[in-house]
Amino acid sequence: MSELEQVWARLREVPDPEIPVISLVDLGIIRDVEKRGGETWVVVSPTYSGCPATTVIENDIRKHLSKHGLEVQIERRIAPPWTTDWITDEGRAALKAYGIAPPSTAKGPAECPHCGGHDLERVSQFGSTPCKALWRCNDCKEPFDYFKCI
């Protein structure tokens, strides 16, 4: 495995600090891993501009890679802006299994992540983190987080 492939593989092991079932790679925020001169750079696009996890994520990347003998520099890149379209299919499946409805192209979740019901209503436009909203399923009566589509 080349060094860049090793970095990608290790990055797949770093979970999102707030939604630990999804890796940073599956979340779609790792935009690039590349060599610049002798240095290895990881390009990260933050989800929301004020997300407090952004700095934690950068520290987690450095810590995990350094544990495996890989030293990297990190570039924070805002353009093009991160979009939920960059979340991988594996990431979407992991969110759903965890009880978070994955982002949908429609104005809300496609179905209840608990029971698959379609009679859904929004409780609040914001949830426990900037990237989520709070919804409720009228079939199983359970509330659930919805990963906002942006």
Partner 1 sequence: MSALFEFLLRMGDNTLVLGHRVSEWCGHAPILEEDIALANTALDLIGQTQMWLGLAAEVEGKGRTADDLAYRRDVIDFRNCLLTELPNRDFGHTLMRQFLFDAWHKLMLTRLCDSSDERVAAIAMKALKEVSYHLERSADTVIGLGDGTEESHAKMQSALNRLWPYVGEMFEADSVDDLNAQEGVTVNPSELRADYDRIVYDVMSDATLTIPDSRFAHRGGRDGSRHTEHLGHMLAVMQFLPRAYPDARW
Question: Would you count residue 5 as binding partner 1 (CB under 8 A)?
Answer: no
As a whole number of angstroms, the distance between CA 6 and CA 149 comes to: 31
Q: Which range of residues in 12-20, 35-43, 67-75, 122-130 is near partner 1 by CB under 8 A?
A: 122-130
Choose, by CB under 8 A, the member of 99, 134, 136, 139 that binds partner 1: 134
Rounded to whole angstroms, how far apart are CA atoms 15 and 22?
6
Amino acid letter at 18? E
- Spatial neighbors of 95 by CB under 8 A, at least 6 apart, are 19, 21, 22, 87, 101, 102, 113, 147
80 prior amide bond cis, ω within 30 = yes
**Contacts with 116 (C-beta within 8 Å, 6 or more apart), sequence order:** none
Candidates 48, 62, 98, 104; binder of partner 1 (CB under 8 A) is 48
Rule CB under 8 A: say whether 85 interacts with partner 1. Answer: no
- Output the smallest distance, CB 25 to partner 1, in A: 21
* Least separation in angstroms between CB 13 and partner 1: 27
Cβ nearer to partner 1, comparing 38 with 80: 80
Binding residues for partner 1 (CB under 8 A): 48-52, 78-81, 123-128, 130, 134, 148, 150
